[in-house]
Amino acid sequence: MIDIAIDIVSWVLLTLGGACVLIGGVGALRLPNFYTRIHAASLTDTMATILIFVGMMLQAGLSLATLKLAAIMLFLLLTGPTATYALANAALLSGLKPDADTIVGKNRADARG
Amino acid sequence: MIFVFALFLLTLLVITAIAIVRSENLFVSVMLTSIFSLLMAANFFILDAADVALTEAAVGAGITTVIFLSALALTAEREKRRAGGQLVALGAVGILAALIIYATFDKPRLGDPEAPVHQHVAPWYLEKTPEYIDIPNVVTAILSSYRGYDTLGEVFVVFTACIGVLFILGVKPPEQPADRTAESGGLRHHLIPQVVGRLLVPFIVLFGLYTQFHGEYGPGGGFQAGAIIATGVILYALLEGEGEALRAVPRSVLLGLVVGGALLFGGVGIVCMLMGGAFLDYSVLSADPVWGQQLGIIIIEAGVGMAVCGALLSIFHAFAARQSQP
Amino acid sequence: MKLLELLGYFNYWVFAITLVIGLYAVISKANLIKKLIGLSIFQSAVFLMYITMDKVEGGTAPIIQAGVEDQIYSNPLPQVLILTAIVVGVSTLALGLAIVVRINERYGTIEEHEILDAD
């Protein structure tokens, strides 16, 4: 009984994680601006990391694999937002201003390529 | 089910390759090459090649990207379009692709156990490794012991590449801008990557050492370990500045690692000859031949790890120390 | 041919297509760094072909698990060859990029036709 419950919970978590990544991908393509796109990609990435890894840890049960998965999840949670920060900082330092009216693709002359 | 995933990854691989070639911004191309390497590593893992996946991820997605980016910083960033001649090239490669696809229909299907490649030497290796060498990872056993000569040649190739790059880039450029070292202070203004990076570097080096010594029991070994440790030190160099990294691991230590690694490997071979066996025949290293083989494998893996780590770091420092022309 | 058989060849077709994409970059792009990137794509395609050959149906990675009898293992030999090839590939890439950097300093450009014109 408890096995089925764990299975169902992990299925739900994995599917939600996959849906998060899909939403993030759609957002990265459809949103108008560089900063909004980073926002979409990074937030959904971190959420999906947590959901997918917890789903996998439930599948692995209590074993060494769970500890390794927890370590990898911790590593990804540390480096993902740091990479996003570095990306946004590099864009800001090289002159791309976070302007809500810029739409990449329509105002190509304004936005840097 | 995993087959569908493999198909998806392979299609993504082709799309990435086309994007790499068509993009005009070289920076974008290099980043896409790193994604290409990562997809390739995932594919290798699906095809049961765990060691190769680890090496491709560490070396391809990690080191190659860093070397490309250092070279890009010293040269141009955009590519100029070349006029003409492209239809002929397209036609030629199209014919070549058609010929290769026609030839692959003769190949045995994926996973066929009766394929010729699985017949002669491979079952012998899988059978005799528990008897002669007794380590679980058969790939490491073949790499270090049965095909030790190839690995010796590989270490010397890495050594030669390191020496070659040091020769080519060690010559001072004609004009040296004065006092540039104050500017190349690394990512001084970026506090968050610095803090997180400083937190991660010891764990990266620890993982590299784990990969080195665990190479006999699981995927791992000298090459992967060398690449991972080099990546850790390169991360430190990117965050703190190249001068700091050179103070942490000076050039003499790097050269000592490279030369020491190559000499260690060759030295083990000569010691085996002096103790009565053939070159690189580790069974004579100790009274029990199985333990002798394991001892030999541990020592030469250490040699390989040292040589690869030192070589990759020397190459990185050679690129990073070269100031670009004003 | 059944669909599964056809899909078994998919790896080889991807190998052929990626190979010619890399080759196209080498022969038709003028930028030296683009040529080197094409070369590295070419090498990766060859690795894919070798590793495709090593898979055995129902097999697992060739790490002998103690106590499990009758386990089919995938072929370890192409993996060893490709391990060597990956490291040799990155060595030659580093050397090639060093030469490109020197060419840039000497000629001021890394486009092939401009270098040939300048000589």
Question: Do B144 and B231 share a structural domain?
Answer: yes
Question: Do B133 and B241 share a structural domain?
Answer: yes
pLDDT of residue B228: 93
At least 3 CB pairs under 8 A between chains A and C = no
Question: Do B280 and B206 share a structural domain?
Answer: yes
C86 and B56 within 8 Å at the Cβ level: the answer is: yes
| Helices H / strands E in chain A, number of each | 3, 0
Which of B11, B2, B318 has the alpha carbon at shortest distance from B165? B318
Rounded-to-integer distance, Cα B307 and Cα B209, Å:
14
**Residues spanned by the domain of B68:** 1-78
Which residue do the tokens 């040091």 mark? B166
Q: Is C100 on the interface with B (CB under 8 A)?
A: yes
Least confident of B12-21, B142-151, C6-15: C6-15
pLDDT > 80? residue B90? yes
At least 3 CB pairs under 8 A between chains B and A = yes
Question: Do B311 and B206 share a structural domain?
Answer: yes
- Token pair, residue B45, equals 């893992």
DSSP 3-state of C72: coil
pLDDT of residue C91: 93
Q: How confident is the model at residue B159 (pLDDT cuts 50, 70, 90)?
A: very high
Question: How many Cβ atoms from other residues are within 10 Å of residue B295's Cβ?
Answer: 15
Q: How many domains does chain A have?
A: 1
A96 DSSP β-pair partners: none
One-letter amino acid at A86 equals A
For residues A38 and A87, the answer to whether their CB atoms sit within 8 Å is yes
Q: How many domains does chain B have?
A: 2
Q: What angle do CA A48, A54, A58 make, to 5 degrees?
A: 145
One-letter amino acid at B251 equals R
One-letter amino acid at A30 equals R
Residues B234-251 as b/e (b if ≥16 CB within 10 A, e otherwise) read: bbbbbbbbbeebbeebee
Chain B residues with CB-CB distance to A under 8 A?
Answer: 25, 189-190, 192-193, 196-197, 199-200, 203
pLDDT > 70? residue A81? yes
Of B18, B79, B142, the CB nearest to C76: B142
pLDDT of residue A102: 67
Q: What angle do CA B280, B283, B284 make, to 5 degrees?
A: 85
Compute the radius of gyration of chain C from its Cα atoms. 20
Which of B29, B78, B174 has the alpha carbon at shortest distance from C102? B174
Q: Enter the CATH code of domain C3-54+73-118.
A: 1.10.287.3510
| Chain C residues whose beta carbon lies within 8 Å of the beta carbon of residue B50 | 61, 63
Q: Do the domain assignments include residue A57?
A: yes
Question: Do B68 and B139 share a structural domain?
Answer: no
* Cα–Cα separations (whole angstroms), residue B187 to A89, B193, B195, B197, B208: 11, 8, 11, 11, 24
Any idea how long chain C is?
119
**pLDDT (average), residues B58-62:** 89
Q: Do the domain assignments include residue A86?
A: yes
Q: Do the domain assignments include residue A18?
A: yes
pLDDT of residue B242: 80
For residues B304 and B151, the answer to whether their CB atoms sit within 8 Å is yes
Q: Which helix (H) or strand (E) holds B270?
A: helix B251-274
Share of chain B above pLDDT 90, in %: 33
DSSP string covering B86-116, please?
HHHHHHHHHHHHHHHHHHHTTSPPTB-TTSG
**Residues spanned by the domain of A29:** 2-93
Q: Do the domain assignments include residue B85?
A: no
Q: Do the domain assignments include residue A108?
A: no
Question: What residues 16-75 of chain B have any CB closer than 8 A to a CB of chain C?
Answer: 17-18, 20-21, 26, 29-30, 33, 36-37, 40, 43-44, 47-52, 55-56, 59-60, 63-64, 67-68, 71-72, 74-75
Rounded-to-integer distance, Cα A22 and Cα B209, Å:
37
- Token pair, residue A97, equals 């201003």
Which of B5, B15, B21, B16 has the alpha carbon at shortest distance from B61? B16
Q: Is B159 exposed, middle or buried (0-12, 13-18, 19+ CB in 10 A)?
A: buried
Q: Please name the residue ranges forming H helices in chain B.
A: 2-22, 26-46, 50-55, 65-74, 86-104, 122-132, 138-141, 148-170, 191-213, 222-240, 242-248, 251-274, 289-320
Which of B9, B8, B33 has the alpha carbon at shortest distance from B20? B33
pLDDT of residue A111: 45
Query: B47: distance to nearest CA of chain C, Å?
Result: 6
Q: Do the domain assignments include residue B70?
A: yes
Q: Do the domain assignments include residue A8?
A: yes
Which of A69, B74, B89, B210 has the alpha carbon at shortest distance from C103? B74
Q: Is C6 on the interface with B (CB under 8 A)?
A: no
pLDDT > 90? residue C38? yes
Q: What angle do CA B270, B273, B275 make, to 5 degrees?
A: 110
Rounded-to-integer distance, Cα B302 and Cα B155, Å:
12
Question: Do B61 and B153 share a structural domain?
Answer: no
Which residue do the tokens 């491979």 mark? B122
Least confident of A14-23, A31-40, B34-43: A31-40
- Token pair, residue B32, equals 């896409």
Q: Do the domain assignments include residue B94?
A: no
| Residue B169 Cα to chain centre, angstroms | 21
Q: Is B15 on the interface with C (CB under 8 A)?
A: no
- Going along chain B, which residue ranges are E strands? none
Is ipTM over 0.90? yes
Question: Do B293 and B165 share a structural domain?
Answer: yes
Residue to substitute from C9, C77, C107, interface B, most B β-carbons within 10 A: C77
pLDDT > 60? residue C1? no
Structure confidence by residue, pLDDT tens digits, C53-89: 888 877 788 888 777 777 788 888 899 999 999 999 9
Q: Do the domain assignments include residue A113?
A: no
pLDDT > 90? residue B194? no
Is the model's pTM score more than 0.80? yes
Contacts of B232 (CB under 8 A, 6+ apart): B201, B204, B205, B208
Q: Do the domain assignments include residue A41?
A: yes
| Residue B32 Cα to chain centre, angstroms | 18
**pLDDT (average), residues B293-301:** 89
Q: Do the domain assignments include residue B43?
A: yes
Q: How confident is the model at residue C7 (pLDDT cuts 50, 70, 90)?
A: low
